[in-house]
């Protein structure tokens, strides 16, 4: 189901991010594929979520407020705990000493982190994976506009984003083969590979993946053959590109293999597993896993730091077991806090 795929993407990305998996001669980072899957699922679910607000006045404003209370409280809790532990020299003592008021504000706003990854002045992050939350928040901002666009305009936006994204993943066919330093001079920018920056991080390009998820939502509801054809074309192209990329050398560019493989897998999986109508989790275990997913994402780096600083004697020989245990404990605390926030959120918006 869409629920299982979304939660699996988060858990898979967190736990597999610790150790890349080597497949054939290509180093495949499975966590990257999971992020692509999460972008896709988010595109689908945010359409479903926004539709629930269209029966109210000011649906876009209500949607933005709802997303704020879903994302920021838990994020701020983990961020301030991380800073406090750094202040006490328990974890990452350099984090607290390197913080300035300006960097703190930009990090707590989340969205700037999606762009700060290219700055030489941005040496670290309170919650390192938060740049991807920044990407998702930008999609949240765009959701009402995409939803309300006329059909022809929506297709134009999607095809433009898709073309840009495919070009970003094809250095031999485009001008995106170098690094950011080749396009922006100055010592303030990191020389990040363009396939990494454009193919995996920035909404101007990966917005195509979100819109693929949105398209799945439209197709599952209306069974429109145009959407099905486009979904199949994207899948087939991703397959052809993944197979041919080693011969062109594109496969050696950062995250080209992972992103193309993710797009190749996710569409057929979604077509086969998604229901015609989105269904909320209907049992306790499913709901519990859902509540834990975002807290696990937020706390898994902090858990790693705590494991490195204070290894537990009774499972010292198994770092993954330590990491899993500490992550679950931290995530459970954050999930309990978020559950309280969510109850207030559901009451204020009038539906669960």
Give the integer Cα–Cα distance in Å for 330 and 318.
Answer: 19
Q: What is the pLDDT of residue 75?
A: 96
Residue pointed to by tokens 């629930």:
52
Contact of 137 with 64, CB cutoff 8 Å: no
Detail the DSSP E strand segments found in 29-66: none
Give the Cα separation of 169 and 256 in Å (integer). Answer: 6
**Range 52-59 contact pairs with CB under 8 angstroms and sequence separation of 24 or more:** 52/351, 53/349, 54/147, 56/350, 59/144
For position 18, what pLDDT does the model report? 56
User: What pLDDT score does 67 carry?
Assistant: 95
Q: pLDDT tens digit string along 289-326?
A: 778 889 999 998 898 888 877 765 555 556 777 888 88
Give the contacts of 345 (CB within 8 A, at least 6 positions apart). Answer: 66, 69, 70
For residue 22, what is the enclosing H or E element? strand 21-23
Distances (CA, A) of 193 to 238, 246, 253, 305: 20, 18, 8, 28
Rounded distance, CA 299 to CA 75, Å?
9
List of residues 6+ apart from 134 with CB closer than 8 A:
110, 111, 112, 113, 114, 115
Cβ-contact 256, 196 below 8 angstroms: no
- CB contact at 8 A, 173 and 167: yes
pLDDT score of 282: 61
Summarised one tens digit per residue, pLDDT across range 264-284 is 888 888 887 765 555 555 667
Which residues, given as ranges, of the chain have pLDDT below 70?
1-27, 119-124, 172-191, 248-251, 274-283, 311-318, 352
Give CB contacts under 8 A, 24+ apart, made by 345-350.
Answer: 345/66, 345/69, 345/70, 349/53, 349/62, 349/66, 350/56
DSSP per position, 140-182: HHHHHHHHHS-HHHHHHHHHHHHHHHHHHT-GGGSS-SSBGGG
131 closest CA partner among 44, 203, 210? 203
**Maximum alpha-carbon separation in the chain:** 62
Q: What tokens appear for 195 in the block?
A: 């396939």
Q: H/E element holding 37? A: helix 30-53
C-alpha 48/C-alpha 89 separation (Å) is 44
Report CA 253 to chain centroid distance, whole Å: 20
Q: Is residue 229 classed as helix, strand or coil in its secondary structure?
A: helix
Cβ neighbours of residue 255 under 8 Å, at least 6 residues apart? 29, 32, 195, 196, 199, 200
């Amino acid at each position: 189901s869409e629920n299982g795929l979304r939660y699996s993407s988060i858990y898979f990305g967190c736990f597999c991010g610790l150790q890349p998996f080597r497949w054939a001669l290509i180093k495949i980072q499975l966590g990257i594929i999971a992020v692509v899957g999460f972008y896709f699922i988010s595109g689908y679910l945010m359409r479903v979520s926004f539709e629930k607000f269209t029966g109210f006045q000011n649906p876009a404003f209500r949607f933005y407020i709802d997303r704020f209370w879903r994302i920021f409280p838990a994020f701020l809790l983990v961020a301030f705990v991380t800073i406090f532990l750094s202040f006490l020299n328990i974890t990452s003592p350099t984090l607290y000493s390197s913080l300035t008021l300006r960097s703190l504000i930009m990090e707590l706003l989340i969205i700037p982190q999606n762009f700060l990854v290219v700055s030489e002045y941005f040496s670290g992050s309170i919650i390192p994976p938060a740049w991807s939350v920044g990407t998702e928040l930008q999609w949240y901002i765009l959701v009402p506009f995409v939803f309300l666009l006329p059909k022809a305009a929506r297709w134009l936006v999607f095809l433009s984003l898709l073309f840009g994204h495919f070009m970003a993943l094809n250095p031999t066919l485009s001008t995106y083969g170098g690094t950011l330093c080749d396009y922006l001079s100055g010592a303030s920018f990191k020389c990040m590979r363009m396939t990494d920056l454009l193919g995996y991080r920035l909404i101007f390009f990966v917005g195509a993946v979100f819109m693929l998820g949105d398209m799945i939502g439209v197709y599952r509801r209306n069974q429109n053959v145009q959407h099905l054809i486009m979904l199949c074309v994207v899948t087939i192209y991703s397959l052809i590109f993944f197979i041919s990329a080693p011969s062109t050398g594109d496969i050696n560019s950062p995250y080209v293999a992972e992103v193309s493989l993710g797009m190749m897998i996710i569409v057929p999986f979604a077509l086969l597993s998604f229901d015609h109508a989105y269904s909320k989790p209907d049992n306790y275990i499913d709901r519990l896993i859902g509540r834990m997913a975002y807290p696990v994402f937020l706390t898994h780096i902090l858990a790693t730091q705590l494991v490195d600083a204070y290894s537990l004697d009774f499972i010292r020989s198994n770092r993954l077991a330590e990491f899993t245990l500490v992550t679950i404990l931290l995530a459970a605390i954050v999930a309990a806090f978020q559950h309280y926030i969510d109850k207030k959120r559901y009451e204020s918006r009038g539906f669960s």
